[in-house]
């Protein structure tokens, strides 16, 4: 039956795994005989006239001397046609013509005028419909079939009016184009962008999405993807991700439909998540949406960006490990910029927070793109860490120490950034409770790197940076390094030295008590003390007293230094005032 309705021939051309090249399958639709025909369609300025005189027109019709009695305006173009040829195949035009005549238009030999501003496909599609109504063959491809099918439905060109009408004939080739060729499926779907929402209501988008999903979940060798110059199938670098490139060319609304169809087909969540990340990387340059359409006002473009980001977040697979932490952080960054729904953003941050215990420091690196911004976005990491702390308060199994090491490792990666402010550095350090760190070695390393990269910090700022670091959580080597570190503020170095003296005093006291335990014989103690004095050793009590005196002297020196510093600051202020 299809052979009676149309003649179809396939034209194959070498491609390279993309839908952006090659000729689509080609079909010629042969309409039934028309009750009236013209020799050709002749264009004069923006008017299309049926003509009985010979000319060099592209389309040729049977000669007729019947005058035009119907003018159909589509956009800026007017078509001078015949009512009999058009209304015999279009229920919509039939009703419009009847309504016009009932209103008194078109009497006394006048021509009726009908305006079709909202016709799917516009002027080019209507030209094909005119050819069909006048009994001339119509050439269609995978690129033009969807608009033509939508226009045929719009004009109600069903078999109820005329056997073998345009709806049934276009529907046959549409199904063939969608399911026969991978690249033609995408050509059909891309052509639907200009005829929304008709293509959605007529389920063309759904058919294309289901076809793509079926092929994406099938062995790519089971159908034609297109061939390279050697005649071999192009299936991409990975047998699992070969379909990413073509799917990423789709507009967001069509991409959503395809992803939903792919999920229903049972494709692995990890592949779905990777595909969403691939699409995002293609359509977003940094934090800018790559949508070049100058006809759309700026505020609508911004709204489209916000809707796009919210759609991406909503379509993410819910399974664990289906999406990388780094990509989710990037979505948070985009969401903050475009001010997406706060509840949606909070859920996304909570999801990332639940992944932190399995992350490494590199996973948290999300680039900034402003000249004065830090290389990596620290703000989004601070938000996620705070979300993690809230989760940890409700979950006694939370492993704070793992996240503590993660954040200290992240700090060492961003500490050298000259644009990283003291406030952001301190916010990130303080985002975790003190119990999250059992050892401050990595924190000290990050602090030292930060102070080295920011030599212009004043004493108070350096002290603020070092505030979270504690002496007793540093290893012996780290303590020794800190006490000799000229970049640390004097207050911290002095404090560490005092604590080191106290530690030594305690150690000596503990050692002496172990060496000279109390016994029931006082004579042994006296003899031991006497021997110590003879050998030049000082009694433990005297040694402790000396250490205490040294500590007191150091405290006095520290107070003197503080007084000198205050005097110098006052003198500097007076000099500035003068």
Distance CA 132, CA 135 (A): 5
Residue 95 neighbours by CB under 8 Å, 6+ apart: none
The β-bridge partners of 376 are 367
Q: Which two tokens stand for residue 42?
A: 């002749």
Residue 410, Cα to own-chain centre: how many angstroms? 22
List the one residue out of 103, 108, 101 whose CA is nearest residue 83. 101
- For the entire predicted model, the pTM comes to 0.77
Q: Which residue has the tokens 């992803």?
A: 259
| Cα–Cα distance measured from residue 325 to residue 327, given in angstroms and rounded to the nearest whole number | 6
- Res 16: pLDDT: 30
Helix axes 182-191, 204-216, angle to 10 degrees: 150
Asked if pLDDT for residue 443 goes beyond 90, the answer is yes
Using CA atoms, how far apart are residues 516 and 524, in angstroms rounded to an integer?
10
pLDDT score at 38: 59
pLDDT of residue 44: 57
Q: Rounded to whole angstroms, what are the CA distances from 18 to 13, 186, 214, 240?
A: 12, 9, 18, 16
Share of the chain above pLDDT 90, in %: 50
Please name the residues in contact with 163: beta carbons below 8 A apart, sequence gap of 6 or more. Answer: 32
Note the helical H segments in 217-317: 244-247, 252-264, 269-283, 298-314
pLDDT for position 494: 86
pLDDT in tens, 549-574: 766 777 777 777 677 767 766 766 66
Instruction: Out of 3-7, 381-385, 389-393, 482-486, give the one with best mean pLDDT.
Output: 381-385
In the DSSP assignment, the letter for residue 119 is: -
Exposed / middle / buried, residue 125 (Cβ in 10 Å: 0-12, 13-18, 19+): buried
| Nearest of 408, 376, 381 to residue 325 by alpha carbon | 381
Identify the band that residue 538 occupies on the pLDDT scale cut at 50, 70 and 90. Answer: very low
Instruction: Give the three-state DSSP class for 100.
Output: helix
Q: Is residue 8 within 8 Å of residue 25, measured between CB atoms?
A: yes
Beta-bridge mates of residue 140: 27
- Sorting pLDDT into bands at 50, 70 and 90, what band is 536? very low
> Beta-carbon neighbour count of residue 441 at 10 Å?
17
Task: Give 26-35+45-202's CATH code, choosing from 2.60.40.2380, 2.40.10.480, 3.90.420.10, 3.30.710.10.
Answer: 3.30.710.10
Chain mean position to CA 449: 32
Report the mean per-residue pLDDT for the chain.
Answer: 80
Query: 164 and 132 in contact (C-beta within 8 Å)?
Result: no
The stretch 411-423 carries a mean pLDDT of: 95
Residue 365, sorted as left (phi over 0), alpha (psi -120 to 50) or beta, turns out to be: beta
By three-state DSSP, how is residue 548 classified? helix
Cα–Cα distance, 498 to 472 (Å, whole number): 12
Confidence of residue 220 (pLDDT cuts 50, 70, 90): low
Q: What is the DSSP string of 488-524?
A: S-HHHHHHHHHHHHHHHHHHHHHHHHHHS---S-HHH
Most confident of 105-119, 125-139, 277-291, 502-516: 125-139
Contact 177, 24 (CB under 8 A): yes
Task: Name the token pair of 1.
Answer: 């039956």
Q: Please give the torsion angle defined by the CA atoms of residues 410, 416, 422 and 428, in that order, rounded to the nearest 10 degrees.
A: 0
CB 144 within 8 A of CB 191: yes
Which pLDDT does position 17 carry in this prediction? 34
Which helix (H) or strand (E) covers residue 37, if one does?
none
């Amino acid at each position: 039956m299809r052979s009676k309705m149309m003649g179809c021939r396939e034209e194959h051309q070498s491609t390279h795994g993309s839908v952006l090249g090659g000729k689509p399958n080609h079909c010629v639709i042969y309409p039934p005989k028309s009750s009236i025909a013209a020799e050709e369609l002749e264009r004069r300025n923006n008017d299309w006239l049926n003509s009985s005189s010979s000319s060099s027109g592209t389309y040729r019709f049977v000669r007729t001397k019947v005058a035009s009695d119907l003018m159909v305006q589509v956009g800026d173009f007017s078509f001078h046609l015949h009512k009999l040829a058009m209304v015999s195949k279009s229920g919509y035009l039939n009703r419009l013509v009847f309504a016009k005549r009932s209103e008194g238009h078109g009497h006394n030999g006048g021509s009726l005028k009908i305006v079709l501003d909202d016709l799917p496909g516009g002027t080019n599609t209507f030209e094909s419909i005119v050819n069909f109504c006048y009994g001339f063959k119509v050439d269609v491809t995978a690129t033009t079939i969807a608009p033509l099918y939508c226009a045929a439905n719009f004009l109600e060109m069903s078999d109820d009016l005329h056997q073998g009408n345009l709806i049934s004939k276009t529907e046959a080739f549409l199904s063939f184009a969608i399911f026969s060729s991978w690249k033609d499926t995408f050509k059909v779907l891309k052509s639907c962008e200009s005829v929304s929402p008709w293509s959605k209501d007529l389920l063309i988008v759904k058919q294309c999405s289901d076809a793509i999903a079926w092929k994406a979940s099938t062995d790519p060798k089971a159908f034609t993807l297109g061939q390279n110059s050697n005649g071999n199938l192009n299936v991409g670098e990975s047998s699992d991700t070969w379909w990413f490139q073509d799917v990423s060319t789709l507009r967001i609304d069509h991409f959503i439909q395809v992803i939903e169809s792919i999920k229903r087909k049972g494709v692995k969540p990890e592949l779905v998540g990777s595909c969403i990340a691939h699409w995002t990387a293609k359509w977003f340059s940094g934090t800018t949406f790559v949508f070049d359409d100058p006809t759309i006002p700026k505020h609508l473009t911004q709204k489209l960006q916000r809707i796009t980001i919210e759609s991406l977040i909503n379509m993410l697979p819910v399974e664990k490990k289906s999406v990388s932490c780094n990509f989710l952080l990037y979505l948070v960054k985009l969401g903050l910029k475009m001010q997406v729904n706060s509840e949606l953003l909070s859920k996304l941050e909570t999801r990332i927070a639940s992944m932190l215990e399995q992350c490494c420091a590199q996973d948290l690196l999300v680039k900034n793109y402003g000249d004065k911004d830090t290389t990596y976005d620290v703000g989004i990491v601070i938000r996620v860490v705070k979300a993690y702390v809230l989760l940890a308060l409700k979950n006694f199994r939370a492993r704070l120490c793992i996240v503590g090491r993660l954040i200290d490792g992240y700090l060492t990666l961003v500490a050298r950034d000259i644009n990283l402010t003291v406030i952001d550095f301190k916010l990130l350090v303080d985002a975790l409770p003190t119990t999250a760190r059992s050892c401050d070695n990595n924190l000290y390393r990050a602090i030292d790197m930060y102070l080295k990269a920011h030599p212009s910090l004043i004493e108070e700022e350096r002290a603020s940076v070092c505030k979270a670091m504690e002496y007793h959580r540093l290893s012996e080597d780290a303590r020794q390094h800190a006490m000799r570190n000229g970049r640390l503020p004097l207050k911290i170095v002095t404090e560490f030295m005092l604590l080191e003296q106290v530690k030594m005093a305690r150690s000596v006291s503990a050692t002496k008590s172990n060496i000279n335990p109390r016994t029931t014989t006082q004579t042994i103690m006296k003899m031991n003390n006497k021997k110590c004095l003879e050998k030049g050793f000082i009694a433990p009590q005297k040694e402790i007293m000396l250490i205490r005196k040294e500590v007191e002297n150091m405290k006095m020196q520290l107070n003197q230094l503080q007084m000198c510093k205050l005097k110098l600051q006052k003198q500097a202020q007076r000099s500035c005032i003068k």
